Structure 1
Amino acid sequence: MARHDAGGRALPPLPGAGRGLGKFVFVAGRAPDGRRGRALRLFPFAFGKRSGLRARLGGAAPEPGSRCPAGGRREAGGGRGQAGGRRGARGSRTAQRWDFSAREESGAGARPGRGSADSGAAGAGGGGGGEAAGTQEAGESRSRPASMGRLAPRPLLLALLGLALCRGRVVRVPSGSLVRVVGTELVIPCNVSDYDGPSEQNFDWSFSSSGSSFVELASTWEAGFPAQPYRERLQRGEILLRRTANDGVELHIKNVQPSDQGHYKCSTPSTDATVQGNYEDIVQVKVLADALQVGAVAPPEPGLSLRLGEPFELRCSASTASPLHTHLALLWELQRGTARRSVLALTHEGRFRPGPGYEQRYRVGDVRLDTVGADGYRLSVARALAADQGSYRCVVSEWIGEQGSWQEIQEKAVDVATVLIQPTVLRVAVARNVSVAEGKGLDLTCNITTDRADDIRPEVTWYFSRTPDGAWPGAPVLARLDRDSLVHSSPHVALSHVDARSYHLLVRDVSKENSGYYFCHVALWAPGHNRSWHKVAEARSAPASVDVTWLEPDYQVYLNASKVPEFSDDLTELECRIVDMKSLQASVRFTVSWYYRVNRRSDDLVASELLAVMNGDWTLKYGDRSKQRAQDGDFIFSKERTDTFSFRIQRTTEEDRGSYYCAVSAWTKQRNDSWVKSKDVFSKPVNIFWASEDSVLVVKARQPKPFFAAGNTFEMTCKVSSKNIKSPRYSVLITAEKPVGDLSSPNETKYIISLDQDSVVKLENWTDASRVDGVVLEKVQEDEFRYRMYQTQVSDAGLYRCVVTAWSPVRGSLWREAATSLSNPIEIDFQTAGPIFNASVHSDTPSVIRGDLIKLFCIIAVEGGALDPDDMAFDVSWFAVHSFGLDKAPVLLSSLDRKGIVTTAERDRKSELSLERVSVLEFLLRVHGSEDQDFGNYYCSVTPWVRSPTGSWQKEAEIYSKPIFVTVKMDVLNAFKYPLLIGVGLSTVIGLLSCLIGYCSSHWCCKKEVQETRRERRRLMSMEMD
């Protein structure tokens, strides 16, 4: 019969038609709600016992419930449909046409059921008419053109069959059969994969002793699922389910009995959208009788006592009478406390496997496992070690091979023996205290005592150390005798074997450096397997103290302070001398070390600091405290004579106060021309100290003439006294402070004149050019100074002081500042009844336009007694602060002195300044061509000069006016006048130029010539001719 697809198109016949192979229809599986399933559905028809599909694929067709080649399961419904097809084969064979349609599912998540009636009928028809249909289709295929060919190639058909058979839910239990022994525990895992629905799946377990009918055993879903015979075992905990994951569970049966032998089925309720795959799997369990016998060859003894290196053997027996073919595996275990350790094992596959730590001993044959007779197993240890002590037991397990895999069906263990390892007794003794003269030979004997009488070989090593504890094995090795009786030593050291238990060490020509502690270390070696050796014991002797005596130099050390400082920065000199020298040899030299220790009032111990040390090769090394100062030349270490060493501090500071002592070392020349320190002798300390009282400097100022008038000479003397200052010299500075009533600068201090410690006079801030020689400072005595100021003026009023600094001499011509003091003030106050001057600033134009003239008047007002204008003169200065406030420093603009000389400061602006005197008491400042930067606060300062009755001019105190704020505005009209005129002019010129260019171009360049029609000129005919 011809096949058609969903669109009605004819399809070629399947391969194998007419050879007993029914037809297949592949349709997309659908859920009851109409959604498309995940895989193709396979509907088989007319499968015989030896179908054409079996022949074409080269193997048997899958049975219901069997595994797919890819590890999956075939759809459960397919299996039942196939069964229906077989039932249909027994029916009528008359029908020649069939209706191939997809089965309807009972619903998503339902268990697969049997096929419907229609499908069964179809299966019956297919079974009966397989050959007829095949013949008909074959005929139709022969009638088609050859180009149509077959339906699909064989690989595509196999892929479609695999996809249809292997997609869907897969439930798995262990493959093959499980074998267990009576009394052991049975564990059967079951898991599911490739499923839809929730991640956590439920499992049902059933049991069948024959494999035909199953009885409910346990369930993770329904509490009432188990059958009545198993509910009691579930309640007692003998049967339980343990979930290992959302898709896995384990069935545990404790104390397995012969009645538990049979088939166990694991099934999962469906949660899939379409019924596909397999939902159950079955495993067979076989229960064997306990036929394994394990025991020790001899009853366990209380303990097997051995010595290190001795061999021992342990035995156990193991046999089985199982009806099946089983293998035995044996393991020897060592238990020490609660820890168990694997020694050596024989696996069920016949392989030897040493435990951790026994690999090397197994490879060299030190640990072996042998069989003895039919059921005996022997553990042999060639040499016992300390780690071999403990309880040994024999663990035997029984294995069986099922379908290429091994199963351990039971395990038994038996305690064999307890091994006790006794250490080897070894004692080593050397003479404790030995004294030998320098240059003689040192002979030491090492005596060995042991309880071993077998073939052992000792290894003797001699060590040397400066301390009795001996940092062994890091101490130097003098000589060694190995177990092969080979000696390893230096040329001046010999090691000999006197008898079986005595070994002599000989050191020739000893010196002082051979004094110390000697040790004898002995190790006992015993022969082992395969010509190997192992150490059974080792011990070290107590230290033997060796003192090399010699005639050391006898001398004393004396420290003397030849120069002691009285003040800071003084010179300190110490001499370290060697006295009472006895028993000196030509091969002895002396060096010195200098130490410093801080003086403390308490009893606390203070560590000494090394200042410098001289080695045996005359090299000098500085300590941390003296390194920098020695490089600067402040510390000097020298050797004056053979027996005298000196230490000099050029400038002693307060930090240098303390105790100093020296140590003289004697060095002896050795055989290799090296020098070794043999003796140290320390001197008594010398204390360097002076009273560290604070420096005191007192300055008193006095005035010989308590009252004077303007124009007279002012005189002030300063008397200096000091304490705790070494050889002081004084420098003097005269300062003047304006009286408090002067509010212009109340805190101003002016330096007038100074005199340094070398009596050099210097004018400081004295700026009165007319009185350059008007101040004098001189030194009257070492501690007294006099200051004079001639022709005093009213402006000189104020407080005068002497600032004195004391200087102490340092190295050479250097001076150090010791103290500074300030004298009491001496006041100059003129009691006059003269006029009072005030200054003010006025301007008629405080706000101007840029470019206009700014006029500022400084007006002086005189109050009090009237003065002749010729007896008054003024120094006037103008200042400006170019800001809205007075937060910036004032700028000097111009000044006019009392002689009429005008001085104008340099400016970086275009505006000009002029200053003139317009009247006796008025001064005018003009700013020509004002700019924006000329705004701000302006004020003037006035210094009056008044002629005294004697005809001299007296300078009055400087006065200041209040500031006036000047604003400079911008003239908008003038600012835009010239740009507008320039723009109009340029526009006019450009327009006229454009017209001229246009006219010229149109008149000469772009003119067109017009061609006129030429007229004929004919002469008039005469009348006669007419």
Structure 2
Amino acid sequence: MEALCLVLRRDMTNAFHSSVSSSLAFSSLSALLNSLPTTPPPPIPPDPLHTLSATVAPQAVFQTQPGVLLHHAAGRDVLLPVGTLYRVAGFPLSLPCAVTGYEGARTQDFEWFLYREDANGRQIGIVSTRDQGFPYAPFLGRVRSGEVRVERDSGDKARLVVQRLRPDDQGKYECYTPSTDSSYQGNYSATVAVKVIPDTLQISYTRKLTGQPMPEGAELTLTCSAGVQSKEHTHLSIMFGKRGGGGVSGGRAGGEVSTLQEIISLDRALGITPGSTQSYRKRYDDGEIMLEKRNGVGGVDTYAVRLRAVQPDDSGSYFCEASQWIPDPDGSWQRIAQRTLEIGNLTVQRLSESMRVTSTLSGRVSLQVGSPLTLTCQVSGLPSGGTSGLLVQWLKRGSLTGDAVTAVAGGVEVEVARMRPDGAVSWGDDLSRGTGGALEMVTEGSYTLRLFSARPSDSGVYRCSVSVYAGRKNPAPSAAATFTQRSEGISVNLKTKEVLVSAVAQLPRGPLLKRGSTVTLLCNVTVTTTGPAQVQVLWLRRPIPEPVITKGDQADPATLLPVEETPSPVATLTYDGMAQLFTNGSEVSVDRVSAITYRLRVHAASLEDQGLYVCQAEVWGQDPHGGWYNTQAKAESLAITVYLYARAADLLLIPLVIGVSSALFVGIVIISTVTCCFMKRLARQRPAK
């Protein structure tokens, strides 16, 4: 009987919640419930994960007779977060509610009530999923405006959302689920306490971006001050972000353009996390983005993010976001307050738009040989502070002769000198310039190339090339430059005195040249000039061309066709008397036998030393400082044919070989004949016996 009365009481309670707005039903149900005998269920141990407001225990045990227990199966269960929950006034409240163990439709209804602390336990209807007229007056306007609403996560999960908490929203919240079960059993509602604490989150900036263009590679520092003064145990996190600017999100498929990007953040546990895009992660790993915390006064600290070298994609609107976090009783951390502060707009100007490389001299420069040559390169439009490394190169194309003012067409551009970002200077192919010139930085952005004594070979069109490594003071040798620009060309013409030179090669008269003998060649050089001059002689050899015989023609020496082959250097006698030999195994020597005659000797000549020999003469002049330079005046002699005949010993070897071969042949024939006849005669005598 007691169990039956208890079930009836549960059904009556459910009916009461379904018709809470009817005063007649309320009075009738109250009278009926008061007239029924009741036996309270045994106490239920508290659930460690959820706060339950139970009309009936999930599992009740009833004793009908001594020693007999009646087990009642658990039914519906309503779940809310474990309380007490602390939330901040003016910020959202989200309370998820779930129901399990129910019967009926998979989509359940939810109704929310508030029991304010100052209302003596009176119940206030907030919002319902099935009744639009459910809200009480304190919440009616807020529900209609959408500030207070229910959002479904699924059919049996929903959450109460209060967009902006008010101090009088503090109290105990109840989530009630109207019954769809065949019998009334389990929990139909649950409650959780919510404390509304005051908003003490502060955020400010020390310097605002003005939107003025900043050159690519410049250093940018953004600061944001934030703090919170709360009696509760809360933590603070800071995030710096950017809107717009055309950055590409590295974490989205297809490289989708993201308008909102997180640059770097400091989480509630003081851990630094770079932005989610691949670009920001790489720049953080490379040390190009840094975040630091500076302790302040009154709990308000300063947070500074530094971008060592801004890039064009860094253009956009920057902001700082401060969030207040609190641990809930279930151990999870919840964001309870958040403020965003706009720092300002940034425009990054590309180096290709701001950088300028110019030369102080322009057009044509004419100098006498031996005069000093000075060229200056000016670099402007770079970020101040010297945060970017520069590679400065002086390049030269072609050469100029006489009074010419343009470079020879098709000239190859070569490097004269370079200064690396670390200040080290190196010279191009002409290493002698290391002692006869200098490349130095005179002032910030000004680089001067000096040749102490200009030579005719220094003629040409000069350009200054500057490569910028934005934000990298000392880049790796293999690192790619951010941008490279060249100056306009400067034509440099070295005026030289007129030099005339001729060269004649000859083979002195003498016996026929034979293999193993010494071959002597002479080169007579005539130089007409003013001032001191020296001659440098180079001997070259080409192979003797083979005769070419066409069909139906007789071999004729006159039919020899020239064969274009690269000559092989044999030896050089430099202008300062040094000999350089390029031998193929033969012994070679060069010397100067008179003022105008230069000699080449090939000792113990072999067949490989045969060929067409020419001598090349180059004239070197002396500048006013005493240095020698190549005047570019040169001459080449006609070819001299060197043919080696066989020696007498080689000629005697031929009949000797023929005679020995003939005698050997005759001997073999005689022996064979005698042997053959003797064997036949011996064979005839044997049968006679």
Q: Which has the higher contact order (CA 8 A, sep 6+)?
A: 2
So what's the TM-score if we normalise by structure 1? 0.34
Q: Greater Rg, structure 1 or structure 2? A: 1
